[in-house]
Chain A
């Protein structure tokens, strides 16, 4: 790790005043220190926001809930309001990483963590996402890479919490000293590599992610998230599914079906959602929705449907199962999958 000046901040205004050229924000540092130890990120100043207590906490309101950016994944996974009414989010935060990482990792840092592609994380590969010409994953080792909507770089969206928050129609509050606050929907937070390979999200260098706001789910809403990895703990998802069902008895008025590890940017599956809308949730409709998700039309690129790489065709089998089981879990018709992580 390179040497740096640590700028310890205890107020939001203080931290905002420090976001100048060359400074990088550090929350818990789980993602940032990894990149610094690898030598792929070498900041000369770290703006340490970890001790800003005003950015911590879960605040319910009649409109929904607002979560401070520094709230930890463990705090979110155990919060009674979230486990009962925003289950998809407590599930996602409770199955990310390991118990100890969840005690440290913050929600803001989880949303803004950079790619886990091993070429991107290695100092030895100067790839597209580091401003060079080539993505090594197409001809290289790509068993954990994307199957949909990838275009020039098949890295996958790494954040479990983003899958849940997209399903819940959440937004983030971004704050800068000069321009004040703005609100960005989770669906607009991430930048696809085809649009700009080196800009991962829409944050400007002088902005802090200060809070996440989730609208109150409609009456009758049930939700769940499941993550599948190579191991039951520790790893990022190889397939994951976030499901939010607005139910009227056993009929689904409206569904949100979200996938993270399928594509570079976390995505809805409008095709799977259409299968469920207005139908009862059954084994059959849930399976059909899972299948439809793999026929998904392009959201960010011109790619139609799942197009696996040389080593990840298994994902085209895994995602439909993940989606089908998570729909039934959300609907209360199936228990948590013992082979899922967490």
Chain B
């Protein structure tokens, strides 16, 4: 079956899910009053983190909740209200105060102000929201944030090291492998994961790896070129220095 949304009223991909975009609507409204949407989101995220810090004494950690409700037979209950959840994101532990229904994408974007991860379809169908869970690319929109506990999450913000772009980011820039840029963070994450698994991918390998990443601007040929260049560049040091 080809997709499950009726092929009508698809002009706005977010219109199909009014609930999840509550926060975005709020952001949009404020943005209309002279604050940029991104700036607002970042601000909101920092404020949320601040709240979590201030309330730190009262906020339960995931384990603390289990202790209060009692753990039996390997069973622990959370929610429905907000609980403190510690996620390991881009090499750092961060505690956020979220409801169990929060997706990893929303926890990253709204609660941690890591807005580099994009949400486009919010249904697992475009891979714009790709992040790495223990180096494996997954859709953060279809993953509950609580399911990321105990795993290492890497987002597009975590690729650069010491202020230097990841080679895949640099290659995307060099090859102009983006147009509107909405699919780009997901594309870069997917390609960087591929290189981690297979340092010398063929174009066929790249095509297969990004088979779920949709680019409606049609930048695929440039993405193949960028990935191929990095594949060449990650051959032995000697060739790179030559």
B1 with A144: CB separation less than 8 A: yes
> For chain B, what secondary structure do more than half of its interface residues adopt (helix, strand, loop), or is it mixed?
loop
A3 with B101: CB separation less than 8 A: yes
Partner of A238, one of B2, B101, B103, B137: B2
A99 with B139: CB separation less than 8 A: no
B92 lies within 8 A of chain A by Cβ: no
B142 lies within 8 A of chain A by Cβ: yes
Given A29-B144, A30-B124, CB of A98 within 8 Å of CB of B211: yes
Q: Mark B188-222, 1 if CB is under 8 A from A, else 0.
A: 00100000000000000000110110100000000
Number of interface residues of A (CB under 8 A): 59
A-B contact pairs, 11 of them (CB 8 A): A3-B81, A14-B74, A28-B143, A33-B142, A36-B101, A98-B211, A100-B137, A101-B212, A118-B4, A118-B5, A235-B1
Given A6-B144, A8-B146, CB of A100 within 8 Å of CB of B212: yes
A2 lies within 8 A of chain B by Cβ: yes
Bound form: Cα–Cα A121–B7 in Å: 13
Bound form: Cα–Cα A275–B94 in Å: 62
A14 with B190: CB separation less than 8 A: no
Bound form: Cα–Cα A18–B73 in Å: 10
Q: Mark A127-146, 1 if CB is under 8 A from B, else 0.
A: 00000000000000101100
Residue numbers of A with Cβ under 8 A of B are 1-11, 13-15, 17-18, 28-30, 33-34, 36-39, 44, 46, 48, 50, 52, 97-101, 103-104, 116-119, 121-122, 141, 143-144, 156, 158, 229-238, 261
A156 with B1: CB separation less than 8 A: yes
Q: Which residues of A contact B6 (CB under 8 A)?
A: 118-119, 122, 141
10 smallest beta-carbon distances between A and B, as pairs? A98-B212, A10-B74, A14-B73, A233-B211, A6-B100, A116-B1, A11-B74, A236-B1, A3-B80, A14-B75
Q: Which residues of A contact B79 (CB under 8 A)?
A: 3-6
Q: Mark B207-242, 1 if CB is under 8 A from A, else 0.
A: 011011010000000000000000000000000000
A4 with B73: CB separation less than 8 A: no
Bound form: Cα–Cα A69–B214 in Å: 30
B174 lies within 8 A of chain A by Cβ: no
A100 with B76: CB separation less than 8 A: no
B100 with A4: CB separation less than 8 A: yes
Q: Which residues of A contact B211 (CB under 8 A)?
A: 98-99, 232-234
